[in-house]
Amino acid sequence: MDREEARATLSVPEFERWEALQERFDAAEETRAEWEAADDLATDITVHADREKLGTEVDVFGNDVLVRVDPESPGLRDRVEATEARFGDDDAGIDELDEAAAADLREKMVGIYEEIVVEWNGHDFTDDGDLTETARRQVFADAAEKWGLRGLFMGLADIIAAVRDDQETRLEAVDSFRGSQGRGRRRDTQNDRV
């Protein structure tokens, strides 16, 4: 029934009720369309995002590094937890390590770099990238040799700080989008009953 037919056949209270119901249907359809657009945008962002959008760019001793941290990775978590258990949040005690412990720590930290670095000074460090696995490992071996344990540790500290800042910024953006209702910027629908 269209508006003219409703006006002609319904009583005034019935017509007002019909009109209010039509407004609710229209609002629901508009909301559905907005949600579909938001879903499409989210899919486009995550599926078609550049690596730079998914990772965190950080300067590590003058090297432009793009990292992507997967908190679900058990290997990464194990190496980080082992390093934190031994040293906490600072590098105190690194100088007192014997040769075997220093080699073990170096291996753990290089393993962390290998897992999280996506790009190093413009070179793609992914499996499909422009460097072989041997060449990638050589970059990390050279860094470990030039920087030493303390440098590797401080580089990871810089990376962790940059990732945390990036995550905070992203979470703030999500929180501002969610609004007071906790899920998008929906209007209050409590009083929308007919």
- CA–CA dist 159, 115 (Å, integer): 13
CB atoms within 10 A of CB 127: 7
- CA–CA dist 62, 21 (Å, integer): 63
* pLDDT tens, N- to C-terminus, the chain (194 residues): 888 998 899 999 999 999 999 999 999 999 999 888 887 777 766 665 565 567 899 999 999 999 988 777 777 777 777 777 766 655 667 778 888 888 888 888 898 999 899 999 999 888 888 888 899 999 999 999 999 998 998 998 899 889 888 888 877 777 776 655 555 444 444 444 44
- Confirm if 66 and 52 have CB atoms less than 8 A apart: yes
- CA–CA dist 156, 55 (Å, integer): 15
pLDDT digits (tens, 9 = 90+) for 1-40: 888 998 899 999 999 999 999 999 999 999 999 888 887 7
Nearest CA to 91 out of 26, 46, 157, 39 is that of 157
How far from chain centre, in Å, is Cα 57?
Answer: 12
pLDDT at 90: 58
Name residues whose C-beta falls within 8 Å of residue 188's C-beta, 6 or more positions apart in sequence.
Answer: 181
CA distance from start to end of the chain = 19
Gyration radius from the chain CA atoms: 28
* Strand partners of residue 29: none
Q: What is the pTM of this model?
A: 0.61
